[in-house]
Structure 1
Amino acid sequence: MHRAHLARSAGLAALTAALMAAPLAVPATAVTGTPEAEGSLAFTARLDIGNGQRACSGALVDREWILTAASCFADDPAVSLAVPAGSPKLRTTATIGRTDLTTTTGVVRNVVEVVAHPSRDAALVRLNRPVTTVTPVALGTTAAAAGEELKVAGYGRTKTEWAPLKLHSGTFTVDAVNASDVNLTGKDGASVCMGDTGGPALRVAGGQAQLVAVHSRSAQAGCFGVDAAVTSTAAVDTRVDDLRPWIDAKLAAPQFTDFNCDGAEDIAIGDPKATVGGDANAGVVRVVYGGGKGAVELNQDQAYVPGGAEASDWYGEALATFDHNEDGCTDLVVGVPAEDITVGTTVHADAGSVHVLYGAKGGIGTGQAAVDHVQGLGTIAAIKGSASEAGDRFGHAVAAGHTAEGEPYLLIGAPGEDLGTATDAGSAIYLRGSVNTAVNQDKPGYAGDPEASDRFGSAVAGSANHLVIGSPGEAIGTEKNAGGVQILKHALNADKVPAPVLGFDQDADVVSGGAEPGDQFGASVAAVAYRPSGAATATDSIIAVGTPGEDLTVGTADKADAGAVHSLRVTASGTVTQVANIQQEVTDVSGTAEAGDRFGTKVVLANTAPRAVGSPSTLALAVGIPGEALGSVAGAGAIQTFHPLGAAGAYDHWVQPGDASGLGGAPTADHAVGTYLGGSATQLYVGVTNAAPYGVAYALPWGNVTGGRTGAASAATTYKPGTGGLPAAGGQFGRSFG
């Protein structure tokens, strides 16, 4: 039977020039059918692509993801449905839960990632923040059947309106179904029009809608602007009932650093002792783009980077990443705690500064202007109200990420901050949207009091649910440098500061052991979101606290600075419980506690599947042991990994240079492996800054360093100055990671 020509039904480049010449002045709405009642089919999304250049529809299938058509994002869908991975080429916003676009119901989100199906006109698009007020539509589990009637919806044209303001729907009859498509015909004049592409075709049973297909192309009879001679209401939709494995795989995949938004994993590596323009120890950050797109250097002599390179700035001593402007490109936080700040004629040595350098499609430095956070300056009250002073070391530690609601946050440690007469009491600045506040032991409800040399803010960490701040110089009674830790919520309390959950030291009931001089409890901290069994999302946090100065008694021998690590769980309600006290003298743990091991100098936590219920196959804790002697090689250093919620010895795995993990080289005296670690949900980063001549860094897949517990082993990556596009220069390459 002759079938009418079916056109792609979105405002795309493949459409006629006449149609493209009339951009949408207001949001476009749907199918030439019946307007939906307010709140009906609330999961249906309206996509504005390129500020009115294109219009599509979609369906919310997860709190962070919309399912739509790949043709909405293809350059020319008549030629190819190929869509580059990463952020959309044109700025895209999604309106969800707003049946009438003239109202303010529902939410508007930025689309920050597009993932096209490899063989169908379907695509998943990720939103910058989760949608919690609209229930996602369920995916149908069986294909549509010939003769079945489906309800279709969208925000495209109607018979009389180019850009209607209401969601419309209509009834279509299924004509035929094949492996990838569903052929439909509209009833009572209903037709799929431009702007409806990607919209849902629904099976409604018992009042519940199930998504079985999304609009791909149609004949468009009766649509505004279509020749009246066209009478066919035929449409072809893309089947999605069998796409659950593809959808689940993408939803479960962890997000990674992507500075240029191209869908390939990138890495930033700090070298704070690198020379810049003759200035020794000025410091650089080297960014290596994934997919073979080369490496670039960031330093303070570049026009994009604030300040100017000076000797001993140590630029890049601390790094962190997040998507601050929520455009889909990862942004880089650079701590410069040794930066000298001049106020009037007075130079405040090591006052410190923090930069936010924005990712963009052309890479860091090609998009939004960088932000320079300096105490006493700018428009952020908490930062401007805290003067730059010598030795503040603002930016000594930085942590960044996104809350459970998807809001970006930044936590900046300034362990040298004086509070009143207490020198080096330490403080931190917390930034989140319009929230900006100083966080320190002078705040109501926080543990302890500001005291000289507490160095609160020496270590900071955060998860989607909680913040963690270490004060390793904290004196507990007369026990100097025993250390302490403060756990906070992101939400502010009545005192307008992050609400305290628990402040504690080793004399507290929540952890084993006791506070002793020089323990440095909280010298390193890590945090990661955790989904407990029975919870729909990752409501809790796992926290690790390093105590590298812990003395251990083995038999009758005192092993000074052998070190230990505590792992704890923080529930959504604020209950904190210790999970494990990890030491090398614990049963079945590899290695032997020795004086000077400093086990716990650095701790890294990872959740390789943040959506899944936490388990030994998804959670990993890496512990640096820089003082470890390997055979007769003193100070070679090593790393051990554990399951942070399990018995220490049950999942212990040893990592050292030259083994199967991909950590290169051979055990070398004073290389101190484990001093500088970083990590993401995909990889553990290891910096060996003492490796001649400039240092070396490694990216080790978590499966490699857990003995396959968190996934199969795969190729590790070595980053070494003088290779892979990195210049043969530096001083301590691999000291920090982002």
Structure 2
Amino acid sequence: MRHTRPVRLAALAAALIAGPVVLTAAPATAVTGPATPASDTTHAYTAQLILGDHDRGCSGVLVDREWLLTAASCFADNPVADLTVPAGKPKLKTTATIGRSDLTSTAGAVRQVVELVPRTDRDVVLARLNRPVTNVTPVALATTAPTTGEELKLAGYGRSTTEWAPLNLHTGAFSVDTSDATTATVTGKDGAAACKGDTGGPLVRVTGGTPQLAALSSRSYQGGCFGTDATETRTGGIAARVDDLASWVDSKVGAPRITDFNCDGTEDIAIADPKATVGGKAGAGLVRIVYGGGKGTAEIHQDLDWVPDIAETDDWFGEAIATVDYDEDGCTDLVVGTPSEDIGTATDTGVVDILHGAPGGLGTGTKKNTHYQQGAGNGSLSASANESGDRLGQTLAAATTNAGEPFIVIGEPGEALGSVVKAGQAFYVHGTTNVSIHQDSLDVPGAVEANDGFGGAVAADSNHIAISAPGEAIGTKADAGNLAVFDPNKLNAEGRPTPLFGLDQDLDTVSGGAEAGDQFGKSLALVPYRPAGAATANESILAVGSPGEDLPIDGVDKADVGSVHTFRVTGSGTYSQLSGFSQGTATDDVTGTAEVGDAFGSTLTAVNTAPRAVSTTETLKLAVGVTGEAIGTVTKAGAIQTFSLLGTPGANDRWLEAGNGAGIPGTPGANQNLGSSIHFTGTHLYAGMPYGPSAYGTLYALPMSNVTAGGTVAAVTTYQPGQGGLPSAGARFGYAAR
């Protein structure tokens, strides 16, 4: 049954994609034998895909708890002529049912396909699910090609001999005829054939009782399938090989999620300018969007008809931003904090908005905005009152739980609790509800006190949440600072993330000592951590900035030089300190020398560039903002210092200042405070310079090699008003970026 590619396209049936699907309740007898009973989990990794309103039906296979492999032809406009499929969100709503041999049962899971990553050389596409599947074991990819005469087992949800849309999975044995670089020809044994709806179904070899995915069903003559001309008796077909795709799958599955507001598979960037003038209102604030792939820019502010409120002087819309796919549709949503928003007579009470992504970009979909303010909506926010100085949304963090539920943490450090002013609180927002967290909440360490500023910094990953109170007094030491760590995967009796422990520098388990003005927890960063021997990254590394820390340098006490501490937080909620970071002395192996007012640790950002893999020195990165750094005689020019979260600080650090060759051009300038705006993605460090030298502000995207010890300097991407389609206007462009 050896054919050249043109013959395959012409001679084989158009595809194995089912047309409009009408589910029936009658028992199914598949082509290859009786229906698979609900109790049979042998092929639980097999998925049924329904596109649109039952416009098409296909099969697929779970290869990772968040990803399926299936045929690109399932999503192609005309699979007979062209298998090209755009990356990103599928054109049609696609529902995947996994682990359900009997579709009328409740076994397995039902998910939505929210992203496609197609191959260009064969009929294969990776399909990301909106949430992980935790009760079905994915199948491993084979590592050798199908061989002539080998038997492979096909599983699929396609037509049977008698039914258009069977309600049960069916299987059949196929013999391999030949294979080439990307495909294999197969022939059904004992009358087995792949039918419409079996496209993308797994062809599995079993070795030592263990299934291995060798190929995906692609095209077939469909002899004996329901609706096929009775004169067609051939049971042969074409399968798309996947045994050589493990590295490609791993590179996609194991990469950090990108910001993708228009869900086209290309990375976008949101850049805040909270001091920008909007409609003549100075300091109203806006966020500029640069869509990847040359798809243009956008400007978002409160004078748009789909964004709540109106632009007002000194609102500072965009002072804090975060990103997450909150509605799980495959399009990244932008979370915007406007902590200086006035509501009624309450000044600087603050609001937060989720601006929803869509294929046309932010604000173009049916759902455009979800608004949060005190005294409105539901949950704890509804029960709270707007008061002057609350500053809701001054800090933001967003992530998803291990079960895939998106959540947001909103800091409100100015909140008065009862008569206690500026005690501070945070809100945990998930689904359609929210709950407050403060130091009088169940089991939260510390106590509500004036000027604690709980919520002054927040950080989150899939395993943990950290909320700090940098103004916390430890004993009589004002502004010494502390923090609390929570588990978002377990809600306690009050419906809050479960508190795990608190940290401050008077604990024996934390180096140093609590001192007035340390501001321990002024900045925070959290990343998932997978230690050697662990199956998943179920731990975290927490970095804590203490920019007011005084340190003795060469026998002289230097005020406000700053430090950073890192901690390993286990899945069970215990912790241990990993390392301490500071510039130290001129003779140690860490670049730089600690000087008065450096404020090392004013800002932090961290990333795990390979969150599925065992964590290494290379994959866990930390960047520290040193905003008060003097470069020569230039005061507060600022700098950025990068480290590995696992490696020895001095052996893995890199120093970045304006004009030193690492990618930030120009020369150091007074009060530029480089390091005030930093953010890691999986591929870049974004460094904002909102305080000059440009009058508008600038953002630089530095490749990882530029910020890694010993790395080569690659080209830097510059975002600046007046360039690349961005309007020539602004005041603090680059204040934050996501």
Residues 271/6 of structure 1: CA separation in 2 closer, same or farther (3 Å cut):
same
Aligned partner of 2:337 among 319, 335, 338: 335
Aligned to 2:498, what secondary structure does the other structure show? Answer: strand
Give the aligned partner of residue 176 of structure 2. Answer: 174
Q: TM-score with structure 2 length normalisation?
A: 0.95
Shift of 1:619: 0.7
Query: Could you report, residue by residue, the CA deviation over 1:483-510 in whole angstroms, capped at 9, with x for unpaired residues?
Result: 1111111111234321111112111122
Q: How does 1:66-105 map to 2 (within 5 A)?
A: 66-105=68-107
Aligned to 2:664, what secondary structure does the other structure show? Answer: coil
Distance 1:395 1:686 in 2: 22
Asked if residue 483 in structure 1 is aligned to residue 484 in structure 2, the reply is no
Query: Could you report, residue by residue, the CA deviation over 1:114-159 in whole angstroms, capped at 9, with x for unpaired residues?
Result: 1111201111111122112111112222222222222111001111
1:682 maps to amino acid: T
1:584 maps to amino acid: Q
Give the aligned partner of residue 509 of structure 1. Answer: 508
Q: Is the 8 A contact 1:279 1:311 kept in 2?
A: yes
Distance 1:8 1:500 in 2: 57
2:465 maps to amino acid: L
Give the aligned partner of residue 399 of structure 2. Answer: 401
Asked if residue 134 in structure 1 is aligned to residue 136 in structure 2, the reply is yes
Aligned partner of 1:366 among 360, 364, 388: 364
Shift of 1:25: 5.1
Shift of 1:30: 9.8
Give the aligned partner of residue 726 of structure 2. Answer: 726
Identical pairs, percent: 55
Give the aligned partner of residue 320 of structure 1. Answer: 322
1:141 maps to amino acid: T
Aligned to 1:649, what secondary structure does the other structure show? Answer: helix
Q: Which runs of 5+ in 1 are unaligned?
A: 13-19
Asked if residue 552 in structure 1 is aligned to residue 541 in structure 2, the reply is no
Aligned partner of 1:9 among 11, 15, 23: 15
Give the aligned partner of residue 16 of structure 1. Answer: none
Q: How does 1:340-419 map to 2 (within 5 A)?
A: 340-342=342-344, 347-367=345-365, 368-378=367-377, 380-419=378-417
Shift of 1:427: 0.1
Distance 1:717 1:422 in 2: 47
2:491 maps to amino acid: L
Asked if residue 624 in structure 1 is aligned to residue 622 in structure 2, the reply is no
2:139 maps to amino acid: V
Q: TM-score with structure 1 length normalisation?
A: 0.95
Shift of 1:75: 1.5
2:406 maps to amino acid: P
Shift of 1:410: 0.5
Aligned to 2:601, what secondary structure does the other structure show? Answer: coil
Distance 1:30 1:374 in 2: 57
Distance 1:156 1:627 in 2: 65
Runs of at least 4 residues off by over 4 Å: 1-4, 25-31
Distance 2:688 2:270 in 1: 12
Residues 160/30 of structure 1: CA separation in 2 closer, same or farther (3 Å cut):
closer
Question: How many correspondences in the alignment?
Answer: 723
Q: Is the 8 A contact 2:357 2:368 kept in 1?
A: no
Distance 2:555 2:176 in 1: 81
2:530 maps to amino acid: R
Asked if residue 521 in structure 1 is aligned to residue 520 in structure 2, the reply is yes
Q: Is the 8 A contact 2:23 2:167 kept in 1?
A: no
Q: Is the 8 A contact 1:30 1:155 kept in 2?
A: no
1:509 maps to amino acid: D
Shift of 1:263: 1.1
Distance 2:197 2:713 in 1: 45
After superposing the two structures, state which structure 1 stretch, 169-178 or 264-273, moved more: 169-178
Distance 1:435 1:341 in 2: 22
1:190 maps to amino acid: A
Aligned to 2:81, what secondary structure does the other structure show? Answer: coil
Give the aligned partner of residue 613 of structure 1. Answer: 614
Give the aligned partner of residue 15 of structure 1. Answer: none
Give the aligned partner of residue 17 of structure 1. Answer: none
Shift of 1:204: 2.4
Shift of 1:527: 0.5
Residues 383/63 of structure 1: CA separation in 2 closer, same or farther (3 Å cut):
same
Shift of 1:362: 0.3
2:606 maps to amino acid: L
Q: CA RMSD in A?
A: 1.8
After superposing the two structures, state which structure 1 stretch, 673-682 or 204-213, moved more: 204-213
Query: Could you report, residue by residue, the CA deviation over 1:651-684 in whole angstroms, capped at 9, with x for unpaired residues?
Result: 1110111233322222111111011222222221
After superposing the two structures, state which structure 1 stretch, 218-227 or 313-322, moved more: 218-227
Q: Is the 8 A contact 2:482 2:503 kept in 1?
A: yes
Q: Is the 8 A contact 1:674 1:686 kept in 2?
A: yes
Give the aligned partner of residue 36 of structure 2. Answer: 36
Aligned to 1:248, what secondary structure does the other structure show? Answer: helix
Q: Is the 8 A contact 2:21 2:55 kept in 1?
A: yes
Distance 1:27 1:299 in 2: 52
Give the aligned partner of residue 574 of structure 1. Answer: 573
Give the aligned partner of residue 471 of structure 1. Answer: 469
Give the aligned partner of residue 600 of structure 1. Answer: 601
Aligned to 1:602, what secondary structure does the other structure show? Answer: strand
Give the aligned partner of residue 662 of structure 1. Answer: 663
Q: Is the 8 A contact 2:505 2:512 kept in 1?
A: yes
Shift of 1:23: 4.6
Query: Could you report, residue by residue, the CA deviation over 1:410-437 in whole angstroms, capped at 9, with x for unpaired residues?
Result: 0000001111111000000002235621
Aligned to 1:287, what secondary structure does the other structure show? Answer: strand
1:613 maps to amino acid: V
2:461 maps to amino acid: S
Give the aligned partner of residue 452 of structure 1. Answer: 450
Shift of 1:87: 1.6
Distance 1:207 1:30 in 2: 26
2:493 maps to amino acid: A
Give the aligned partner of residue 153 of structure 2. Answer: 151
Q: Is the 8 A contact 1:68 1:122 kept in 2?
A: yes
Query: Could you report, residue by residue, the CA deviation over 1:627-650 in whole angstroms, capped at 9, with x for unpaired residues?
Result: 111122211110001112232212
Q: Is the 8 A contact 2:696 2:732 kept in 1?
A: yes
Aligned to 2:652, what secondary structure does the other structure show? Answer: coil
Residues 23/42 of structure 1: CA separation in 2 closer, same or farther (3 Å cut):
closer
Shift of 1:564: 0.7
Distance 2:147 2:680 in 1: 48
Shift of 1:81: 1.3
Q: Is the 8 A contact 2:15 2:219 kept in 1?
A: yes
Q: Is the 8 A contact 2:317 2:338 kept in 1?
A: yes
Q: Which runs of 5+ in 2 are unaligned?
A: none
Shift of 1:37: 2.9
Aligned to 2:646, what secondary structure does the other structure show? Answer: coil
Shift of 1:288: 0.5
2:561 maps to amino acid: A
1:437 maps to amino acid: V
Distance 1:495 1:510 in 2: 29
Residues 156/713 of structure 1: CA separation in 2 closer, same or farther (3 Å cut):
farther
After superposing the two structures, state which structure 1 stretch, 422-431 or 644-653, moved more: 644-653
Query: Could you report, residue by residue, the CA deviation over 1:398-455 in whole angstroms, capped at 9, with x for unpaired residues?
Result: 1001112211010000001111111000000002235621111011211111000000
Asked if residue 233 in structure 1 is aligned to residue 235 in structure 2, the reply is yes
After superposing the two structures, state which structure 1 stretch, 490-499 or 38-47, moved more: 490-499
Q: Is the 8 A contact 2:21 2:164 kept in 1?
A: no
Aligned to 1:475, what secondary structure does the other structure show? Answer: coil
2:71 maps to amino acid: A
After superposing the two structures, state which structure 1 stretch, 40-49 or 494-503, moved more: 494-503
Q: Is the 8 A contact 1:10 1:54 kept in 2?
A: no
Q: Is the 8 A contact 1:67 1:123 kept in 2?
A: yes
